[in-house]
């Protein structure tokens, strides 16, 4: 005996019903957001979090004001604005950490600051490339000829011997 056509239709679920069952499945996501959107938002949130953590650990030197002050030193190099830009930076942030700015500060005319800059660069020199170390050494040799303080000259000569 063949089953009736009414029972066939009842036993077969419609596509709508199949989709509803699929949506209720524990394997399917119940959120409206796709996994791709979630991963994008979590990546963005993670980047924002890392920026905030970096700002926390860098302190004053992590903000826009610091970048502006550094740029003022670089733009003012070789002009009459250089000394004032360096003076403002040093008052607010102290000796900078980056090599390129330290190289510029070797032309600053304050012997106390010059000594700190040279000591900082001496500590950073092993991490720098051979070319940068040679540039530092050459700059120190020039400074030893032009420095006005005998204390600065002796410091420079000692560091040249160590390099």
The pLDDT of residue 103 is 92
Residue 131 has pLDDT above 90, yes or no: yes
Kindly indicate the confidence band of residue 28, based on its pLDDT and cuts at 50, 70 and 90. Answer: low
Check whether 96 has a pLDDT greater than 70.
yes
How does the average pLDDT of the chain come out, rounded? Answer: 80
Cβ proximity of 90 and 113 under 8 Å: yes
Q: Identify which has the larger pLDDT, 154 or 63.
A: 154
Closest CA to 161 of 142, 137, 145: 137
Residue 138 confidence (pLDDT): 92
Q: What is the pLDDT of residues 40-69, one digit of tens each?
A: 567 777 787 777 776 666 556 667 888 888
Q: What angle do CA 69, 108, 161 make, to 5 degrees?
A: 120
Q: pLDDT value at position 135?
A: 92
* Residue 35 pLDDT: 60
| Top-confidence residue, 48 or 34 | 48
Q: Is the pLDDT of residue 31 over 70?
A: no
Token duo for residue 120 = 């900082």
Give the start-to-end residue ranges of the domains of the chain.
36-94, 96-163
**Tokens at 79, concatenated:** 């002009």
DSSP code at position 127: G
First to last CA, the chain: 102
**pTM reported for the whole predicted model:** 0.61
pLDDT at 152 over 70: yes
């Amino acid at each position: 005996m063949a089953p009736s056509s009414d029972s066939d239709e009842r036993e077969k679920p419609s596509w709508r019903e199949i989709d509803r069952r699929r949506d209720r499945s524990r394997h399917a996501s119940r959120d409206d957001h796709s996994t791709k959107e979630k991963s994008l938002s979590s990546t963005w949130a993670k980047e924002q979090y890392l920026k905030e953590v970096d700002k926390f650990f860098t302190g004053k030197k992590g903000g826009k004001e610091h970048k502006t002050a550094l740029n003022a030193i670089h733009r003012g190099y070789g002009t009459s604005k250089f000394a004032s830009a360096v003076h403002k930076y040093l008052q607010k942030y102290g000796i900078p950490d980056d090599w390129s700015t330290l190289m510029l500060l070797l032309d600053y005319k304050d012997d106390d600051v010059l000594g700190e800059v040279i000591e900082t660069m001496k500590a950073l020199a092993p991490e720098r490339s051979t070319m940068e170390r040679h540039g530092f050494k050459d700059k120190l040799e020039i400074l030893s000829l032009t420095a006005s303080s005998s204390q600065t000259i002796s410091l420079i000569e000692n560091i040249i011997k160590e390099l």
